[in-house]
Amino acid sequence: MGHFDHLNVAFFTKAAIYPGSIGTFRYRFQREGWTDGKGTLTVWVYENTSFELAKDVESQTFPWTEEGVEQVKAWLEEKLAERGSQPYSIPYPAPKAE
């Protein structure tokens, strides 16, 4: 069972932008258009920080179709394997601000 098996065409009707994570592996989806064959899904993966502050960002755009969603899932699994993930934790004591 893959980490992204829950993704399907209908999943992306719930929100236009959807952030998520698996531990420290961060990802974000944005859909454009609709499921009429013209819609797209852009996916970003980035380091363990907020999307707005991320520097190590990779993205890919896929068609918003059944085939495109399968490509999204495969791409995310590949990126998860490349980047890895650790359980999320808050450092204690917190690092001092510079």
pLDDT in tens, 37-72: 789 999 999 988 889 999 999 999 999 999 999 999
Residue-range definition of the domain harbouring residue 34: 25-81
Distance CA 61, CA 85 (A): 23
In a domain, 36, yes or no: yes
Is 60 within the bounds of a domain?
A: yes
Residue 1: its H or E element: none
In a domain, 37, yes or no: yes
Classify residue 68: in a domain, yes or no: yes
Pick from 2, 4, 1, 13: nearest CA to 72: 4
Sequence length of the chain is 98
Amino acid at 18: Y
pLDDT for residue 96 is more than 70: yes
Q: How many domains in the chain?
A: 1
pTM: 0.83
